Amino acid sequence: MDKTLTAISTYLATQGYTNICVDYIPDTPDEIIGLFCWDHKAPEMGDGTGMRYIQVRVRRYDPTAALSVCKAITALLDSGQTERVLPITYTGKAIGRTRRLPIVMDRNGTTTTYYSEIALWGAN
């Protein structure tokens, strides 16, 4: 399990989010948050830092709630123009930047899933 995703999951839990899964989304419960690391790159200069692309997925019964929660989590993980260090328990300091705002990933008869993507820079 990626320790970066575990740190993000812990941070989101301190912000009141529940049913957070790392690297998978089970069929139940229907209302869940999933965190995935879909790529990890280390720069050629070998300074001990790297970049991870994090995908956040939010599944809810109410499509509006799914979008709202996905937007809120994306905002929490974006360091903004000041490049604020994210308050996550991590190997070193981490800075996040939104790569993709929330968009619909899946709709079925009962739930809607939105996802967003964040680039996270920090220690490997």
Which has the closest alpha carbon to 1: 29, 20, 28? Answer: 20
CATH number for the domain whose boundaries are 3-123: 3.30.2000.30
Q: Is the pLDDT of residue 1 over 60?
A: no
Domain residue limits, the chain: 3-123
SS3 118: strand
| DSSP secondary structure string for all residues of 66-99 | HHHHHHHHHHHT--TTTTPPP----SS-EEEEEE
124 band by pLDDT with thresholds 50, 70 and 90: low
C-alpha Rg value of the chain to the nearest Å: 14
Q: Counting every residue, how long is the chain?
A: 124
pLDDT tens digit sequence for 81-114: 999 999 987 777 889 999 999 999 999 989 999 9
pLDDT tens digit sequence for 18-50: 999 999 999 888 999 999 998 766 665 566 677
